[in-house]
Amino acid sequence: MPVTGAARMDPGPQGWQRGARNKGENDMRKRKAALFFDYPLADGVVFDDAARTRLADLTDLYPHTVNAENFAAHAPALADLEVIFASWGMPNLTDDQLASLPKLEAVFYAAGNVKAFAQQLIDHEITLVSAWAINAIPVAEMCLAQILLSLRGYFQAVHRYREQHDTAAAKRFTRPGVNGETIGLIGMGHIGTRLRHLLRDYPLEVIAHDPMLTAERAAELDVERVDLATLFSRAFIVSNHIPDLPSTRGTLGAPLFAAMRDGATFINTGRGAQIVEDELIAVLHDRTDLTALLDVTWPEPPADDSGLWTLPNVLISPHIGGTIGNEVSRLSACAIDEFEAWNAGRPLRFEVTAEILRTMG
């Protein structure tokens, strides 16, 4: 495993070696930078040796990894800090903490969701960039796998086979296959859009619901815009990618699930709060032909007595859709690429502005 930030630390917070300034030529010197994160490294080291080497070439990199617990100890050495490279566990910096970082200009977040800390940075006019579009890649790939397996009836067949031990009976149900079937995507943000691109390799019709999806964008993506009721009644597979906003919570309830086609599958990699859980459970109890594949629930995990644990037509995974393992290097590469663009005065691809934050999940 690559050496972690803790293993690299110098004896004390004063270990930051002062880089030489080119006589006031700000664009010719290395920016003062530091790593901020706090997460278990078992699923992959975001800022691995290759990323740290690249950062050391591009910046004057502080030799410690900072987090919410040790911030106070390192703050005196960070007065000249200009750039933060962060990942999961980035603290929500308080006004006082930001006041101790008077030269901080930008945060490059090598992960996805920034809701926990973004508003403070935006309010203080600190540039924020997130690799959320890159974090969408594995989620879309997992959804593609689930869609293809669902079209073959895989999940239901496995359950029936285990129960009946009868090859013919286990697959005696609606299994349309991958040729001309209809897929419904709810939400056409980064994940929904990437999934749609992946689906282009298959002879499938894609319909979509997203209040922000324009006719021009729908034509570009080759999807048909429909309302939610139409999507649930027409699609054989419904995949949810709605952003987690107060206005979207409880959006998906019994009337929609009850309208699903015989043998249909509902996939949720969006957020669990968008589902009215009791209503979903009731429909799945009555409609044993339906299948639900839930990578997210609300709460996570579901309560011990939730029917989601016991219904035979529900499969719950422990929120595994995001970036893991060797994939995490894409996150740091994105963050560093964006830093290079920002430092050179070029346009940013993944900046999180106040307007974008309002619609982010």
> Digits of tens for pLDDT over the chain (361 positions)?
333 333 333 334 544 544 333 434 444 689 999 999 999 888 799 999 999 999 999 999 999 999 999 999 999 999 999 999 999 999 999 999 999 999 999 999 999 999 999 999 999 999 999 999 999 999 999 999 999 999 999 999 999 999 999 999 999 998 999 999 999 999 999 999 999 999 999 999 999 999 999 999 999 999 999 999 999 999 999 999 998 888 899 999 999 999 999 999 999 999 999 999 999 999 999 999 999 999 999 999 999 999 999 999 999 999 999 999 999 999 999 999 999 999 999 999 999 999 999 888 6
Domain 13-132+324-359, what fold? Rossmann fold (3.40.50)
Structure tokens at 163: 């129960």
**The dihedral of CA 280, 190, 128, 9: what is its sign?**
positive
What is the reported pLDDT for 243?
86
Cα distances from 149 to residues 46, 260, 265, in angstroms, run 31, 18, 10
Global pTM value: 0.88
- Helical H segments across 165-276, by residue range: 167-170, 190-199, 215-221, 228-234, 254-258
Spans of all domains in the chain:
13-132+324-359, 135-316
Calculate the CA dihedral of residues 313, 317, 322, 328 and round it to 10 degrees: -140
One fold for 13-132+324-359 and 135-316 = yes
Of the candidates 260, 310, 322, 297, the one whose C-alpha atom is nearest the C-alpha of residue 136 is: 322
Phi and psi (nearest 5°) for 161? -65, -40
CATH class for the region spanning 135-316: alpha beta
- Cβ atoms 85, 339 nearer than 8 A: yes
- Cβ atoms 252, 284 nearer than 8 A: no
Phi-psi group of 106: left, alpha or beta (phi > 0 → left; psi -120 to 50 → alpha; rest → beta) = beta
Side by side, which strands form the sheet with 106-109? 59-66, 31-36, 83-86, 106-109, 127-130
